[in-house]
A and B are shown apart, each in its own frame.
Chain A
Amino acid sequence: MSIEEIQNEIVEEFSMFDDWMQRYEYMIELGKSLPIIEERYKTDDNIIKGCQSKVWVHAELEEDKLVFTADSDAIITKGIIAILIRAFSNQRPIDIIEANTDFIDQIGLKEHLSPTRANGLVSMIKQLKLYAIAYQTQLN
């Protein structure tokens, strides 16, 4: 599936919920199923800055696709990363670079997109894209 198709799928899933509580409960569930980063990658180098909670992200190229694993010590943050990773992992770097992130707004998590928000969702997206740029350069 393309990034856009996955994003549409996520938007559809979230549209089933009536209120924020259900959305958050679902996000927390997603957080629990996050592809966990291997312990050896939980280094200071892999920590995303700008988060009140700690977030580690690791990227690896598998053939022409970029695979992300991540973890956080806060479960809501983990849920947010899980959503991002579902959309962006296992995709070609060029597609990750070009993808937009409007779906975050559509699933009712707009409040997490503010650059001043302590969870650093914006930093996370930036980090995923930076990895994509780095690996794209490698592929070129």
Chain B
Amino acid sequence: MIITKLDIETIRRDFPILKREVNGYPLVYLDNAATSQTPKQVIDVIVDYYSRYNANIHRGVHTLSQEATDAYENARIKVQKHINAAEPYEIIYTSGTTDSINLVANGFTSFLKKGDEILVSAMEHHSNIVPWQMLCERTGAILKVIPMDQEGDLIMEEYTKLLSKCTKLVICNHVSNALGTINPIEQIISLAHKVGAAVLIDGAQAAPHIKVDVQKLNVDFYTISAHKICGPTGVGILYGKEEWLTKLPPYQGGGEMIAEVTFEKTTYADLPHKFEAGTPNICGGIAFGAALDYMNSLGYEAIASYEKELLEYATKELRAINGLKIYGTSEHKTSVISFNIEGIHPYDIGTILDKLGIAVRTGHHCAQPVMDYFKVPGTVRASFSFYNTKKEVDILVEGVKKAKQMLS
């Protein structure tokens, strides 16, 4: 396959924020795993929505409402096509991955009983741990952990051993936010299905790097947040297989999600509206569609190939710094580097880098169990996007060296 090469300088011009200065230095934005920046193609869609057709959707008879409804539902179809879901109504708009996970976790309350088991991977974000712990508290189900090794890879033999007739749910991220590991989800899903367990894959960190085919994966639930993939904050989706979404009870009650309401009995709307109570983030949904258009215009193969180049370069350059240790050294990684320098607190490094205009994340990355596993209070995490450059990697490396010199 011929992969077109990205023209990074042209791409960078799509992102107004990249022209910013921070603390007197040109911004070097390397916190993409937390939130990605927004191209003008998406910003324009947001401005256009509020300038031209801001209206409430689905119920209005007037033109603006119709236009807004069409744009919102059209964006749903864009998401459907993007992940190759069988039907548009298998895409549920949510406020993001956390909301998507909570929707499923709440829905499973009536499906689980005491002694049932939920498996979660050892490298989950808190948002993919806590809702399941809460589900266990409600139902008496037991949470079990799929362990990982020192490289940050899940130990598949242990996973196989944990699977049993008691396993009702398997929960795993596609890509770890703290380590960047790309998990073997095809295998995880097919093994879970053999014991009859449903699988939820948190795709928040994968969506900006990997294009999935949910039908081919045969996954039961998959989640995406728009703001990690060049879209706005506060919107995301839950993909669910029709059979599961039909079975799951509604999550929140309100307008939009009903068929008929009397004080005696309410009947619920069909999919997807059953799960979409209240006025949604209309503009966010439409802009999410625009973000997917933007990503697809660049092409995922081209993005992945360029990001791999950045990752390899940054790994090599950072490793050359004495005392620097990288956490997450799997062979299958997205462009995320979590690291520490011996004897220096990650918070200190992050503070100095910020003074140099370099945005990284420090702390436990909402994945305390991962930090506990590596016995560190936190790490510095640099996460690269397709709009980052090798020159920016050099600036990061120089910044880390400077921080090390100041802090040692």
Name the interface residues of A60-79: CB closer than 8 Å to any CB of B. 73-77
The segment from A18-26, A35-43, A129-137 found at the interface with B is A18-26
With the chains together, A8 CA to B151 CA distance in Å? 52
Q: Is A53 close to B, CB under 8 A? A: yes
- Which of A24, A52, A73 is the one whose CB lies under 8 Å from B362? A52
Q: Is the CB of A25 within 8 A of B378?
A: no
Q: Is the CB of B347 within 8 A of A24?
A: no
In the complex, which of the residues B347, B355, B377, B378 has the most CB atoms of chain A within 10 Å of its own CB atom? B347
Q: With A21-B406, A28-B407, A52-B362 given, is the CB distance from A77 to B347 under 8 Å?
A: yes
- Which of A28, A54, A118, A119 is the one whose CB lies under 8 Å from B406? A28
| A74 surroundings in chain B (CB, below 8 A) | 345, 347-348
A-B contacts at CB below 8 angstroms, number? 40
| A73 surroundings in chain B (CB, below 8 A) | 345, 377
Interface string of B316-359 (1 = CB under 8 A from A): 00000000000000000000000000001101100110010000
With the chains together, A24 CA to B23 CA distance in Å? 14
- Which of B345, B363, B377, B406 is the one whose CB lies under 8 Å from A24? B406
In the complex, which of the residues A20, A74, A75, A119 has the most CB atoms of chain B within 10 Å of its own CB atom? A74
- Which of A20, A76, A119 is the one whose CB lies under 8 Å from B23? A20
Q: Is the CB of B363 within 8 A of A118?
A: yes
| B345 surroundings in chain A (CB, below 8 A) | 53, 73-75, 77
With the chains together, A99 CA to B362 CA distance in Å? 33
With the chains together, A120 CA to B206 CA distance in Å? 33
| B362 surroundings in chain A (CB, below 8 A) | 52
| A28 surroundings in chain B (CB, below 8 A) | 406-407
With the chains together, A80 CA to B40 CA distance in Å? 40
Q: Is the CB of B347 within 8 A of A53?
A: yes
Q: With A52-B362, A53-B347, A118-B347 given, is the CB distance from A24 to B378 under 8 Å?
A: no
Name the interface residues of B374-408: CB closer than 8 Å to any CB of A. 377-378, 406-407
- A1 nearest CB across to chain B (Å): 30
- Who on chain A is nearest to B344 by CB? A75
With the chains together, A120 CA to B102 CA distance in Å? 30
- Who on chain A is nearest to B23 by CB? A20
- Which of B23, B348, B363 is the one whose CB lies under 8 Å from A75? B348
With the chains together, A54 CA to B23 CA distance in Å? 26
- Who on chain B is nearest to A53 by CB? B347
With the chains together, A86 CA to B352 CA distance in Å? 23
| A24 surroundings in chain B (CB, below 8 A) | 352, 355, 406
| A21 surroundings in chain B (CB, below 8 A) | 355, 406
- Which of A52, A53, A75 is the one whose CB lies under 8 Å from B407? A75
With the chains together, A54 CA to B352 CA distance in Å? 18
Q: With A20-B23, A24-B406, A54-B377 given, is the CB distance from A119 to B347 under 8 Å?
A: yes
| A25 surroundings in chain B (CB, below 8 A) | 406
- A87 nearest CB across to chain B (Å): 21
Name the interface residues of A1-52: CB closer than 8 Å to any CB of B. 20-21, 24-25, 28, 52
- B141 nearest CB across to chain A (Å): 31
- B249 nearest CB across to chain A (Å): 37
- A71 nearest CB across to chain B (Å): 12
| B407 surroundings in chain A (CB, below 8 A) | 28, 75-76
Q: Is the CB of A52 within 8 A of B355?
A: no
| A53 surroundings in chain B (CB, below 8 A) | 345, 347-348, 377
| A118 surroundings in chain B (CB, below 8 A) | 347, 363
| A52 surroundings in chain B (CB, below 8 A) | 347, 362-363, 378
- Who on chain A is nearest to B402 by CB? A21
With the chains together, A97 CA to B345 CA distance in Å? 32
- A23 nearest CB across to chain B (Å): 10
With the chains together, A119 CA to B351 CA distance in Å? 10
Q: Is the CB of A76 within 8 A of B377?
A: no
With the chains together, A20 CA to B406 CA distance in Å? 12
- Who on chain B is nearest to A19 by CB? B24
| B351 surroundings in chain A (CB, below 8 A) | 76, 119
- Who on chain A is nearest to B343 by CB? A75
- B14 nearest CB across to chain A (Å): 30
| B352 surroundings in chain A (CB, below 8 A) | 24, 76
With the chains together, A76 CA to B351 CA distance in Å? 8
- A29 nearest CB across to chain B (Å): 10
With the chains together, A118 CA to B351 CA distance in Å? 10
With the chains together, A138 CA to B345 CA distance in Å? 37
Q: Is the CB of B363 within 8 A of A20?
A: no
| B355 surroundings in chain A (CB, below 8 A) | 20-21, 24
- A14 nearest CB across to chain B (Å): 15
6 pairs across A/B with beta carbons < 8 Å? A20-B23, A28-B406, A73-B377, A74-B347, A75-B344, A118-B363
**What 4 new A-B contacts, CB under 8 Å, besides A75-B348, A76-B352?**
A25-B406, A74-B345, A75-B345, A76-B407
Q: Which 4 pairs of residues, A with B, have the shortest CB-CB distance?
A: A74-B345, A74-B347, A53-B347, A52-B347
